Structure 1
Amino acid sequence: MKLFDNHKKLFGVATLLFSILTLFVAILPSLSNQYYIKPLPDAKPLSPSATRGKAVFVANGCVACHSQQVRNVEMDKSWGSRASLAADYAGNVRTDFWRNTATLMGTARIGPDLTDVGNRQPSKEWNLVHLYNPRIVVPESIMPAYPWLFHLTESVTEHDVAVNIPAEYLKNSAKKVVATSDALDLVAYLQSLKQTPLPDGTALPNFLYERQEKSTTEQVQSSRVDGKALYIANCQACHQANGEGLAGAFPPLKGSSVVTGKNLELYVDIIMNGYDARPEYGAMAAIGTNLGWTEEEVTAVINYERSSWGNNAPATTTEEIKKILEFLKHKMESK
């Protein structure tokens, strides 16, 4: 064929075919997606601080270890209440003229998925300590520390955000750790990562590969919930393995009047719905509600905390906790 003997015609035809394929395979489908796929009605745009924090997230390569997508498989339930939808990412825009949209969906989960981390861990104090050195709050963590997001100072001004770091993690314990604007913006971005609820009346899509229901014999054998395991998995990161918390950030459970006292309603309310009324400590997430804890799980955690680290409070029963949970549910619904 003469076409193959004329390099100008050959490259011209190849360029034309490539352009047509690009138009129909990439450009037109993208424009169609932008037209038809819109953000969910209650989706909130990023604040200026969170937008800057997203750039810090990108610059530090956080997406290499943390994904932002809840797949529609049963094992992903711990990362969100539903599988991610295209609408969850429809609000993303180009980073700037030269750089494309940063969806940060990721592919690896060396660290936890961050789709709903704003609900799982809303505490600014915890996030700042975790960024400075993850081993302070999670001893087993393999996440690198980010000390360059902070600076040391002799004195703290009213405009500074001081971070309470244990002395053993500081080379110079006489100095105070202060968060930089990059650290605060990054935390603002992490706190903004919350799954948007679907509109009222919209059925949640089912997760695939659901776990099989256990037989009656298996249910009886596994009816004893391990309160210590629940504490380690969900509470220890803040309140620490020794129950002493972290001064200025997370309250101690060792010797706590809430833990060892008689006001079980307050105790259960804090576990289920979180707490944010103590200026000296960070906000606690609604751990029990977010994880869908049952009366058995709440009872197990309470009894573990009431009998550990020198605490010697009477054990509670599942029946007592069930009544309190029903009362709190009715209380929340009547608001």
Structure 2
Amino acid sequence: MDFFNNHNKLFGAAFLLFIGLTAFVAVLPAINNEQNNAPLPGAVALSDEAIRGKALYVSNGCVACHTQQVRNVDMDKVWGQRPGLAADYASNRRTDFWRNTATLMGTERTGPDLTSIGSRQPSREWNLVHLYNPRIVIKQSIMPAYPWLFESKAEPAKEDVIVNVPDAFQREGMTLVATQDALDLVAYLQSLKQTELPGSTGSPAFLYPKQQQKTEAASQAMPSNTDNCESGQMLYATHCQACHQESGEGLQGAFPPLKGSTVVLDKDPSLIVNIIMRGYDARQEFGVMPAVGANADLSPEQIAGIINHERSSWGNDAPKVSVQEVEQIVQKIKEMPVQ
């Protein structure tokens, strides 16, 4: 009983127990992880802009609604090409001496996972519009707007990055420009990409082995239908709808319409395939379109599905393109020198 009545012994023992548990539960496992995991060979270090953007990501509470972890379950396939590995986080370091905000894996998916958002949505213009007011590009979005990351100017400076938004969302006679904070935050978002595994190493399969076997057995039992294996509408929703909208009408002053577009309706699909694969930057009134096809590694079948959906929707009536046509055009594009 003397032990429990002696506050020096009691609190001294509790302190030593706390130190011991901290060492065994936190410190030693962390050291072990650092010694046994290294960044993947193709991992790219964050730029100075992305480092500042990461701090803004934390300070604006983005981690409360977005995860950065692709789990080993089938439902996470939409967030990355493979399940996450310890090596994906090995290059992360403390923000500073006082803050250990290195790995922003998160716990909630109120918003989508951002592990590969830099690949899924690499357009700086789209990200800036989305940050200014998410409802501009996604009407049902519940994400808060971040207007304090932007400024309205009567006469933008030459070096200012102009953000093209519909007239209804900006002050009359003023031009919306991105602040450096907005550009830094977007730089961080664009840096979020899963690193490709080196050499011939196969990507880890989604689903745990037993569950994977059940899924494969079920798929083998189902009749195959190659014509419907990829839905053009679903592919459009995944890769194009955020900018060009479900209606195909785009957003005036921000993203061009596909409804009635001469590019979409052209009988020769060469231009539209080239735009999907290599992006487009020839319209002063609109932002730069990223190379969606190359960034997402879309197959000729998937590209054909997207084009045929666009050619047959919103009143568009153009002949379908075949996978073979798209495949030939894609091959020519890949053989062309990079400009």
Common fold by TM > 0.5: yes
Unaligned runs of 5+ in 2: none
Normalised by the size of structure 1, how large is the TM-score? 0.87
Alignment of 1:1-335 (within 5 A): 1-170=1-170, 172-208=171-207, 209-210=211-212, 211-212=215-216, 213-214=218-219, 218-220=223-225, 223=228, 226-247=231-252, 249-271=254-276, 273-278=277-282, 280=284, 281-288=286-293, 296-321=301-326, 324=329, 327=331, 331=335
Distance 1:11 1:241 in 2: 64
Distance 2:152 2:112 in 1: 29
CA-to-aligned-CA distance 1:193-237 (integer Å, 9 cap, x gap)? 111111112221111144454467654498385433432343121
Compute the displacement of 1:146 (Å). 0.9
CA-to-aligned-CA distance 1:20-71 (integer Å, 9 cap, x gap)? 2222222122122222222111211111111111111111101111111111
CA contact (8 A) 1:37 1:87 kept: yes
Distance 1:156 1:247 in 2: 20
With over 3 angstroms needed to count, the CA separation of the structure-2 counterparts of 1:224 and 1:82, relative to structure 1, is: closer
Distance 1:48 1:191 in 2: 13
With over 3 angstroms needed to count, the CA separation of the structure-2 counterparts of 1:247 and 1:97, relative to structure 1, is: same
Q: Secondary structure at the match of 2:270?
A: helix
Unaligned runs of 5+ in 1: none
Q: Comparing 154-163 with 215-224, which one deviates more in the overlay?
A: 215-224
Give the letter for the 1:205 counterpart. Answer: P
With over 3 angstroms needed to count, the CA separation of the structure-2 counterparts of 1:37 and 1:279, relative to structure 1, is: farther
Distance 2:198 2:255 in 1: 35
CA contact (8 A) 2:133 2:144 kept: yes
With over 3 angstroms needed to count, the CA separation of the structure-2 counterparts of 1:229 and 1:12, relative to structure 1, is: closer
Distance 2:164 2:145 in 1: 15
Distance 1:177 1:163 in 2: 6
Distance 1:78 1:289 in 2: 17
Compute the displacement of 1:286 (Å). 4.6
Q: Secondary structure at the match of 2:228?
A: coil
Q: Secondary structure at the match of 1:178?
A: strand
Q: Secondary structure at the match of 1:57?
A: helix
Compute the displacement of 1:145 (Å). 1.0
User: What is the number of equivalent residue pairs in this alignment?
Assistant: 330
CA contact (8 A) 2:311 2:317 kept: yes
Distance 2:225 2:200 in 1: 36
Q: Secondary structure at the match of 1:25?
A: helix
CA-to-aligned-CA distance 1:86-115 (integer Å, 9 cap, x gap)? 111111111111111331101111111111
Give the letter for the 2:91 counterpart. Answer: G
With over 3 angstroms needed to count, the CA separation of the structure-2 counterparts of 1:25 and 1:220, relative to structure 1, is: closer
Give the letter for the 1:35 counterpart. Answer: Q
